[in-house]
Amino acid sequence: MGFKPQELAHDAASVVVQDDAGDKASWRPLLRHECSFSSAVFTDIMINLIKNPNINSSWLFRADIFHDSSGNGIGPRPSELGALPSIPSFSGFERQRRIVRRLIPRSTQRDRPLDQTCLIYASPPTEPAEAQPAAGTHRTLVVYLPHVSSKAEMPFYHPTVRGIAFLHEWAPAESQGHISISYFFFDGSDRTAVKLTRTAFHLLEAVYKHGEGRVNGYKKRVQHDVILPQARVQNTYTALKQKYARGLIASWAETTDPGKHVFEDLSIAAFLIELWADMYGQAAFPGFVDIGCGNGLLVYLLNQEGFKGWGFDARSRKSWATYNTKLETPTASQDSLQQLVLLPPPVSREGLAEASSDGFSPELTHDGRFASGTFIISNHADELTPWTPILATISDCPFIMIPCCSHDLAGKRFRAPPPKDKSKSESAYSSLVSWVSIIATDCGWEAEKEMLRIPSTRNTAILGRKRSGEPSSVDIEAIVHRYGGTAGFLETVIKLARNSSAGH
């Protein structure tokens, strides 16, 4: 059923009674709804929401857990947290767990973080009738207490209240229960404010939907932060955004949406910077190449942050005039952004000489061979995506590919076969991700996956940084043949190169 909660009257009796509060009616119940999930499910969902406040608010990045009485926090930091609020007691409840978190907003220049204590209470089942030992009611209470002393200290992304309480009541015999939400208001607050009620609605709705989804067998398919901790990447992203975003958006030279592209590339740059910190540590960075670099912004950002590398694309962009820099190589200097089309080694060169005499410019092609160890970036590279693990194997280079549109090894649009794993979606994108991951595995790479936190639905990153065998043991020709061959790729390259020459 849909979420249609009962809105409780302003003078409704409190369902949460704080023993040590001067005004026992301060916890005012706002909304109540039936539910079919147990106390254990409710507690699990609430812990997940405590650890991931971004589920409820797009203004928030995450929560940093400073203390968890269960032993899963990063340790209390009294000097950072300041004075902690006193721990309240509630009639009929015993405290089970205390978590102290810091809410981290997306924009720390505009919004400040908020420290908050989250408390989990449980009450013993009410005494059932002797003939019905399973009929007792279980009650679980979760309370949020912001570390503020006045309304003026509250950031806008949090309801302007002294506390929020979620109550779950469960009758095992009927397999039925209720959830409700209550506020602990500041003195003199408008307890009828529409905004506060609307926020309460959304908070309780999130609990309800997650709980009912769990009962109905929903399993989370997307796992974030598998390779890198969320906090590290988001902190680096925030620093990059503060440093570059305003200027990049103001000087945007393309016809595309600057907001989407700037923030997406800042996010990818942050991920790569933290990834490379793990991969290389204090060792010398081996350089990178961005195949199909598009507007060149990602190359520019990485170069600006001290990671030297270059990128190429079949077509130059207006932005290149701003982003292009000179890179000093062991042999000569070169532009960081270059107009080239890729002609991979497995593609037959037959007919290339004839094309050269008919307006084709061979100097606008690249054979896809790079210095060993060069990190290959393939970000929405379309035709080059399935070639990425193959090129990485030929040159013995680690890589990241973020698939977008589906093309085969011949450069033609096609729909990749659905995943053999029937637990995975059979959508076109899921099929593409699965297909190119299998190519990577067949090339001897351990295909690691990360769902990037970027403003795009095409956000799966596949990493190749660990091998199961030597690149020399891989039969590249057999792999290319297994995945459809290259018939027609040369003609596509020649066409791209001619168009590039015409517009050069």
pLDDT in tens, the chain (504 residues): 689 999 999 888 899 999 876 655 589 999 999 999 999 999 999 999 999 999 999 999 999 998 898 876 555 454 556 667 889 999 999 999 999 999 999 887 778 899 999 999 999 766 554 444 445 789 999 999 999 989 999 999 999 999 999 999 999 888 899 999 999 999 888 878 899 999 999 999 999 999 999 888 766 667 788 999 999 999 999 999 999 999 999 999 999 889 889 999 999 999 999 999 999 999 999 999 999 999 999 999 999 999 999 999 988 999 999 999 988 877 778 999 999 989 999 988 777 777 766 666 777 889 999 999 999 999 999 999 999 999 999 999 999 999 999 999 999 999 999 988 887 888 999 999 999 999 999 999 999 999 999 988 899 999 999 998 899 999 999 999 999 999 988 888 777 766 665 544
Domain that holds residue 179: 6-215
Same domain, 340 and 488: yes
Q: Is 305 exposed, middle or buried (0-12, 13-18, 19+ CB in 10 A)?
A: middle
Q: Are residues 84 and 170 in the same domain?
A: yes
CB 165 within 8 A of CB 179: no
Nearest to 60 by CA among 49, 68, 74, 69: 49
Does 255 reside within a domain? no
215 is written with which tokens? 């009962």
Alpha helices in 216-281 (DSSP H): 230-240, 246-250, 258-280
Q: Is residue 276 part of a domain?
A: no
186 and 44 share one domain: yes
Same domain for 309 and 208: no
72: its two tokens: 């899963």
Residues 298 and 175 in one domain: no
Strands 114-123 and 94-105, by their bridges, are antiparallel
Query: Is 249 a member of any domain?
Result: no
- The verdict on 346 and 480 lying in the same domain is yes
Burial class of 140 by CB neighbour count within 10 A (0 to 12, 13 to 18, 19+): buried
Q: Do residues 34 and 119 both lie within one domain?
A: yes
How would you classify residue 306: left for phi > 0, otherwise alpha for psi between -120 and 50, otherwise beta? left
Q: Which of 215, 241, 262 is the endpoint of a domain?
A: 215
* 221: in domain: no
Within this chain, do residues 186 and 307 fall inside the same structural domain, yes or no?
Answer: no
DSSP bridge partners of 123: 139
Same domain, 96 and 183: yes
- Two tokens at 148? 């503020």
Predicted local distance difference test score (pLDDT) of residue 81: 62
Helix orientation angle between 258-280 and 297-304, rounded to the nearest 10 degrees: 50
* Domain-ending residue, one of 215, 248, 266: 215
Choosing from 155, 187, 215, the residue where a domain stops is 215
Is the full-model pTM beyond 0.85?
no
Same domain assignment for residues 312 and 209: no
Rounded-to-integer distance, Cα 28 and Cα 370, Å:
66
Q: Give the pLDDT confidence score for residue 479 in this predicted structure.
A: 96
Within 13 Å, how many C-alpha atoms sit on residue 503's CB side? 12
Q: Domains in the chain: how many in total?
A: 2
Is residue 328 domain-shared with residue 423, that is, in the same domain? Answer: yes
Write out the two tokens for 302.
């990485």
- For residue 316, give every residue at least 6 positions away whose Cβ sits within 8 Å of its Cβ, in sequence order, or none: 337, 339, 500, 503, 504
Backbone angles phi, psi at 344, to 5 degrees: -60, 150
490 occurs within a structural domain: yes
Residue 279 lies in a domain: no
Q: Position 34: which residue type?
A: E
H or E segment and range at residue 51: helix 39-51
| CATH number of the domain residue 104 falls in | 3.30.530
Return the closest-CA partner of residue 451 out of 280, 221, 219, 106: 221
Tokens in use for 180?
A: 């409700």
* Token reading at 107: 């924009």
Please check whether residue 267 lies inside any domain of the structure: no
Supply φ then ψ for residue 158, to 5 degrees: -115, 140
Considering the domain architecture, whether residues 36 and 139 belong to the same structural domain is answered as yes
